[in-house]
Amino acid sequence: MMLKICGMTRVEDVRCAAEAGADFVGAIIVPGSKREVTQEQAACLFQAAPPAKSVLVVRDMELEPLQALIDELKPYAVQLHGNEPLEYAKALTGAYVWKACNLKCEDNLQQMLDYPAEMLVADSGGGTGRTCDWTLAAKLAKIRPIFLAGGITPDNIQEAIAAVHPAGIDIAGGAESAPGIKDHNKIRQLILGARGESLANK
């Protein structure tokens, strides 16, 4: 079970996640996001990421500026959270494309079937802290590899995995003490939970 800790704003949090065994860390360059960072901050965060892989999260950015960001930051993947059309995703080079999908109804599943992305991220809207429809997410997970996001915490991560059987879990708020400020104990709990363990066993 892969685990991504997203919404990173501090190098010490990135290092904690990487040392604890997170597979991916994410930085958000979305104007107005409560976890927004600058390009310069993202570069510092990504430099601290290995052995975890870096994921750049954006929403409805113009294609050329995004391609320039990818060329400069060299993330493993770029995660699209807006209304980016298929042609937009196909045009990007230099990073894998992940696409967030807001699962509210069966039609949302159909819209994602042919989207050109290595990974889909089943979410409730991005940054809401609410769980998405796990029944719909489970249906999508049977068709394509997905990360499950939205409202996942140390308390419900194992329930989420059992209900959806995703390829991975994507967490931001569930690993925080405040927006953008990660709780290192929660990070460790989440990573253990993703592996079917608990801190009580350590």
Domains of the chain: 2-201 (3.20.20.70)
Using pLDDT thresholds of 50, 70 and 90, give the confidence band for residue 200.
very low
Residue 172 pLDDT > 80, yes or no? yes
Q: Tell me, what's the pLDDT at 199? A: 46
Top pLDDT among 20 and 201 is at: 20
Sequence-ordered list of residues with C-beta below 8 angstroms from that of 184, at least 6 positions apart, any chain: 13, 16, 20
Residue 176 pLDDT > 80, yes or no? yes
Residue 189 pLDDT > 50, yes or no? yes
- The rounded distance, in Å, linking the Cα atoms of 168 and 158 is 12
- The rounded distance, in Å, linking the Cα atoms of 109 and 102 is 9
Using pLDDT thresholds of 50, 70 and 90, give the confidence band for residue 106.
confident
Across the range 129-137, mean pLDDT stands at 86
- The percent of residues in the chain predicted with pLDDT above 90, rounded, is 82
Residue 45 pLDDT > 70, yes or no? yes
Cα of first residue to Cα of last residue in the chain, in angstroms, is 19
The alpha-helical segments, DSSP class H, found in 74-156 are 86-91, 106-112, 134-141
Residue 131 pLDDT > 80, yes or no? yes
- Report whether 49 contacts 25 (CB < 8 A): yes
Residue 202 pLDDT > 50, yes or no? no
Residue 102 pLDDT > 90, yes or no? no
Residue 101 pLDDT > 70, yes or no? yes
pTM assigned to the model: 0.92
pLDDT, tens digit (0-9, with 9 covering 90-100), for 67-76? 999 999 999 9
Across the range 20-48, mean pLDDT stands at 97
